[in-house]
Amino acid sequence: MTDSPARERILRTATALFISTGIRVVGVDRLIAESGVARATFFRHFPTKDDLVVAFLESQAADARRELTRIRSERPGGARALLAEIATGAKMGMECTGFRGCEFINTAAEYSDPDHITRVVVDRHRAWVRDIMVDALEELGHPTPFATAEVLFTMRTGAIVASSLEGFHDPDGAFDRAWWALVDQS
């Protein structure tokens, strides 16, 4: 279905609510009311709530892919700049009051069935991020790019979750030292 102002309004409303409060806690009636659309309009654009969740995740993933691809291609030292941006994103919650974490991690927590369509979208995006990290490490001549990308991605996930749940802070820069020690292995 083509984009329409109503569809965009529904998606924009859902994005704000899903990020600020979670997915399962937000009902269709609330989405309809806060989007200011008729029930029929909502279901014409999103036959099920899962369809809306998938559209939300795909939109978020597309934004992330555009930004990371842009950073890699436009910044000096593109591969290293990409890895720096991912590290910075992992630490974002350390500086934000009320940080709720990554929408992909949160969605995976809310939808535990690995075959559920939302989890398929989450897993596909997370694999893309890991793979772009592998590519960056290969470009830097890293001896074990895949294994290292897996560890870096785990560090990233852990920092985000710890920031959202426990208020993790890194005042002495241990996260950065560990991140760059892994990146700079030769």
Q: Are residues 145 and 59 in the same domain?
A: yes
Q: Are residues 77 and 148 in the same domain?
A: yes
Query: Which residues constitute the domain of residue 168?
Result: 49-183
Q: Are residues 22 and 75 in the same domain?
A: no
- Give residue 150's pLDDT: 97
Domain CATH number, residue 6: 1.10.10.60
Q: Are residues 15 and 68 in the same domain?
A: no
Q: Are residues 125 and 152 in the same domain?
A: yes
Domain CATH number, residue 104: 1.10.357.10
pLDDT digits (tens, 9 = 90+) for 93-142: 776 666 788 899 999 999 999 999 999 999 999 999 999 999 999 999 99
Q: Which helix (H) or strand (E) is 120 found in, with range?
A: helix 117-139
CB atoms inside a 10 Å sphere around CB 62? 11
Mean pLDDT to the nearest integer, 58-79: 93
Total structural domains within the chain: 2
Q: Computed from CA positions of residues 18, 21, 22, 26, in that sequence, does the dihedral angle turn out positive or negative?
A: negative
pTM over 0.85: yes
How buried is 6 (Cβ within 10 angstroms: 0-12 exposed, 13-18 middle, 19+ buried)? Answer: middle
Q: For residue 24, is pLDDT > 80?
A: yes
